[in-house]
Amino acid sequence: MSAEQQTSRKILVVDDDQDFRWTMGNVLQAAGYRVIQAQDGEEAMSLLEKDTPDLILLDYRMPGETGLKVAAKIIKKGSGIPIIMITAYAEVKSAVEAIKMGVYDYVVKSGNYRALLPSVIFKAVKQHEMEREKARLALDLERLVITDDLTSLFNRRYFYRKIEEEMVRAKRQNGKLTLILFDLDHFKEYNDTFGHLEGDRALKEVGKIILSSIRDKVDSGCRYGGDEFAIILPSADIKHASDVAGRIQRSVREKKMGNIDISTGIAEYDSESSMEDFIKAADDALYEAKKQEKRGD
């Protein structure tokens, strides 16, 4: 960690002893850290509502709530901020309890601890950053595995996983679940006439339209196949799904991508149906829609 990076790191010191906070502040500032202070757990929790330090130094014994109770509250919030417990008493039982709870380290106020603390803090902050980076990379990898790189919709792999999850949830909660399947009419003709690059642009455009037409973090828009798409709509009935399908159909037509149109098939989940039956019901509805579209031609 460079000197500039270390200077940007913020440490929250929580201790009822003002002299200790002042001394610790000087030690940490001399080591290149920025320091904020709180005299008890209540003030610390209030500060954490407004600010996010890179590490918390927390006194074990304070009037009112103990350091362990404060640490439990901080950990429960799920911020992941590393906590180092500091105490004047070398109590093995307390140290074990703190570590089990999720506290990063436990330091006794004795000997040369003030000189050692910056090093302990450096290691804690570094480990926390490595863990966050590892979690970020894992999330990025997960997104790559489940996302269609052309349209930014979920892919077929995710579709099957998600629809099974939502079927289980709908059955358990006796809730609604609807599936829409889409098929781009005349896409092959468009692709053959204008080329694959234009075909890809059309697919991307349809992906954007789907994403803008569904509920964020509720519905799941998926690229089901080459020019086939699907939307999983939890807690939605046929009417809601029809409205969504209608918006998408109108938006695709308004884009005027050659003679590309869109056919839709909608099915509502029956708790007695298997996943195959549920998907087939939507696929059958799509087939009927395409037959009617051909009759219209």
> What are the catalytic residues?
227
Tokens (6 digits) for 103: 């506290």
- Contacts within 8 Å (CB) and 24+ apart, 67-75: 67/14, 67/41, 67/98, 68/94, 68/97, 68/98, 68/101, 69/41, 70/14, 70/41, 70/44, 70/45, 71/98, 71/101, 71/102, 71/103, 72/101, 73/41, 73/45, 74/44, 74/45, 74/48, 75/101, 75/102
> What residues contact 221, with CB distance under 8 A and at least 6 apart?
153, 154, 207, 210, 211, 214, 229, 230, 231
Q: Determine whether 25 is exposed, middle or buried from the number of CB atoms within 10 Å of its CB (0-12, 13-18, 19+).
A: middle
